[in-house]
A and B are shown apart, each in its own frame.
Chain A
C-alpha cells in the first residue's frame, strides 16, 4: 500500500533560525523568519505559497493561517494545525505532500516555531485527558519520567546498559561540535555522562534533550515543479504513520503493550514497502531523540541496527562522520536542541542537498527520518536525484 504522493512530491528547501535560550521575539516572528527563509532558498515569492501546515502543543505555536497572512502568502487553499508534539514533523511533511498530490495546493510550507525555553515550556504544562489524572498525584509528571519507564524496560528486555545510553549521548555530542547552531557544545565523555545527575532512573541530565527557542520550515511541492527551483529537490519516496495504544496523554502509556519497542516497530514494514527501499540502502539517518532511549528504539525499530545493539553501534563509532551509518548529524535533539523534531527533518534535507558543511556525509543519496518516541509517530524516506 503506497500512497500516490510517494515519488511524485518533494521537499524543495529547508530553513532554520538560530536556536537560543531566549529569542527576544515572538513565536510569530520566528515562524515568519523560518518560512521566508525556506521560500527564498528556492527563488520563490511568498505569493507563490498556497498551503501552510504547522504543529504545536499547549498553544505554544501560531496558527498556519496567521503565518500565511504575516508572510504575505497567496490565498491559501490548504491549511492545517496539528495539536501534537514530537510525533508530528514527518507527518506534517506527509500532509503537505498529500495536499499537493490531491491538487489542493501547489506550494506548501511546513513549520514548527516555539519559544520553547523562554515562553511555553511544554514539559511544565499540565496535560489533561487519558490517564493524566491518575499519574500527576504520584509525582509522575515530566517527560523524562514517562520515557524513563520505557528506557527501563528497554534495558531489561534487550540486556542493554546505562553505558549504552551514555554511548549514544557521547556520539551525538561529537556531531554537535561540528554544528555552529547546536546549543550543547561542551565535549562529552562517558565519564562526564556518568557524572551527570539522575533525573529519573535510568535517565540522567545527559540523556535528555534541551529546550530552545527557534523555528524551522520546509517547503513541499510536486517533484515536477521542484526540479525547476533553485535547490536540489529531495524526493519523498516513502512514509508511514503509526498510532498504537495511545490514550491522548503523552505522559500515559497504560494502553501500550511493549515499552521496549516504540511506534517505529509498528510502521517499519509499511515504511520500507512504500519506498521500495530497505534499511541497507540508507546513507544517513536523522531520528527523533528527545532522550537517548528514544533514539535506541527508533534506530532498532526501523531495522537500521539489530535489537539491543544501538549502544554498541554508537560506542564503536558507526554513528559518527565516516561511520557505517551516520546518525543525527546535527547533534540531534539531544545536543542541537529541542525544536520538536522539525530540526531532525531539516537536517535530513540538507544532507541530501549536500549543504551540511563540515558534517556532510559524502555522497548521501538516501535518508530516513522519524518523528516520535513512544506510542505514535511518523517516518519518512527521502532520496536525492543527484
Chain B
C-alpha cells in the first residue's frame, strides 16, 4: 500500500528486473536445498532457509503454457495504447510458475501445455518476460 513511511525497496524485485534488462531470466534458488521459488518470499519456502541463502540463478527458458488472457481493457491509462495484448501463465521447466507476455508476433492458436520459450521483449520501454511457441 502506498503511504508514509514509504515501503522499503524490494531488493529481490530490483535484482529480477536487472537480470531481465540483460536478457536473462532468473529465479531465486536455495543454496541449501536447491529448490526454486517464485515470486521471491524472503527465504526458502521448501526448507525454511534464510534469504541470505537464496540466489538468483538462470533458468533454461523452456516453459509450458498453463493459462492466458487477451486483455482488451487494461483499466490503466499507461497500457491503453497496447491493447489488445495477451498475458500468459507459464510453468517453467525448472518448476516455478511465472507471468509473461505472449510474444507480439504470435498468431497461432494457443493450447494448454503448449511448449514455449522465453524471449525478453520491450514493453512500454521496459524489458519484460515474454514467451513464444517453441519451434
Cα separation A156 to B67 with both chains bound (whole Å): 9
Most chain A CB inside 10 Å of its own CB: which residue of B72, B123, B124: B72
Given contacts A134-B13, A137-B124, A254-B38, contact A142 B74 (CB under 8 A): yes
Whether the Cβ atoms of A128 and B123 lie closer than 8 Å is no
Q: How far is the CB of B8 from chain A (nearest CB, A)?
A: 11
Q: Which of A128, A144, A259 contacts B1 (CB 8 A)?
A: A128
Kindly list chain B residues whose C-beta atoms are within 8 Å of the C-beta of A201. Answer: 69-72
Whether the Cβ atoms of B76 and A135 lie closer than 8 Å is no
Kindly list chain A residues whose C-beta atoms are within 8 Å of the C-beta of B13. Answer: 133-134
Chain B residue at minimal CB-CB distance from A146? B69
Kindly list chain B residues whose C-beta atoms are within 8 Å of the C-beta of A203. Answer: 69
Residue A200 at the B interface, CB < 8 A? yes
Chain A residue at minimal CB-CB distance from B3? A59
Residue B128 at the A interface, CB < 8 A? yes
Stretch from A87-95, A106-114, A147-155, A344-352 forming part of the interface with B = A147-155
Kindly list chain A residues whose C-beta atoms are within 8 Å of the C-beta of B2. Answer: 126, 128
Whether the Cβ atoms of A156 and B73 lie closer than 8 Å is no
Given contacts A149-B89, A152-B69, A253-B89, contact A247 B128 (CB under 8 A): no
Given contacts A131-B99, A149-B67, A254-B38, contact A139 B72 (CB under 8 A): no
Residue A24 at the B interface, CB < 8 A? no
Residue B96 at the A interface, CB < 8 A? yes
Whether the Cβ atoms of A138 and B39 lie closer than 8 Å is no
Cα separation A254 to B128 with both chains bound (whole Å): 17
Residue B97 at the A interface, CB < 8 A? yes
Q: How far is the CB of B64 from chain A (nearest CB, A)?
A: 13
Whether the Cβ atoms of A138 and B87 lie closer than 8 Å is yes
Cα separation A199 to B85 with both chains bound (whole Å): 11
Whether the Cβ atoms of A142 and B38 lie closer than 8 Å is no
Most chain B CB inside 10 Å of its own CB: which residue of A58, A137, A156: A137
Chain B residue at minimal CB-CB distance from A197? B72
Whether the Cβ atoms of B70 and A198 lie closer than 8 Å is yes
Size bin of chain B's contact surface = 35 or more
Chain A residue at minimal CB-CB distance from B96? A254
Cα separation A153 to B41 with both chains bound (whole Å): 26
Whether the Cβ atoms of B123 and A137 lie closer than 8 Å is yes
Q: How far is the CB of A340 from chain B (nearest CB, A)?
A: 17
Whether the Cβ atoms of A139 and B85 lie closer than 8 Å is yes
Residue A221 at the B interface, CB < 8 A? no
Q: Which of B71, B98, B123 contacts A145 (CB 8 A)?
A: B71
Cα separation A59 to B1 with both chains bound (whole Å): 9
Whether the Cβ atoms of A153 and B7 lie closer than 8 Å is no
Cα separation A202 to B72 with both chains bound (whole Å): 10
Q: Is chain B's binding surface mostly helix, strand, loop or mixed?
A: mixed
Given contacts A149-B67, A254-B98, contact A137 B126 (CB under 8 A): yes
19 of the cross-chain contacts (CB-CB < 8 Å) are A130-B39, A131-B39, A133-B10, A133-B39, A134-B16, A134-B99, A137-B126, A138-B99, A138-B100, A138-B101, A138-B123, A139-B85, A140-B71, A142-B76, A149-B69, A149-B87, A201-B72, A254-B89, A254-B99
Given contacts A137-B124, A138-B123, A153-B66, contact A199 B98 (CB under 8 A): no
Q: How far is the CB of B6 from chain A (nearest CB, A)?
A: 11
Kindly list chain B residues whose C-beta atoms are within 8 Å of the C-beta of A133. Answer: 10, 13, 39
Chain B residue at minimal CB-CB distance from A127? B1
Chain A residue at minimal CB-CB distance from B98? A254
Kindly list chain B residues whose C-beta atoms are within 8 Å of the C-beta of A259. Answer: 66-67, 89
Cα separation A138 to B76 with both chains bound (whole Å): 11
Whether the Cβ atoms of B87 and A139 lie closer than 8 Å is yes
Residue A252 at the B interface, CB < 8 A? yes
Given contacts A128-B7, A134-B99, A254-B38, contact A139 B74 (CB under 8 A): yes
Whether the Cβ atoms of B128 and A138 lie closer than 8 Å is yes
Whether the Cβ atoms of A141 and B75 lie closer than 8 Å is yes
Kindly list chain A residues whose C-beta atoms are within 8 Å of the C-beta of B71. Answer: 139-140, 145, 199-201
Given contacts A137-B124, A139-B82, A254-B39, contact A124 B75 (CB under 8 A): yes
A246-259 CB mask vs B (1 if < 8 Å, else 0) is: 01000011110001
Kindly list chain A residues whose C-beta atoms are within 8 Å of the C-beta of B73. Answer: 142, 144, 197-200
Residue B68 at the A interface, CB < 8 A? yes
Given contacts A198-B72, A247-B41, contact A145 B87 (CB under 8 A): yes
Cα separation A151 to B13 with both chains bound (whole Å): 28
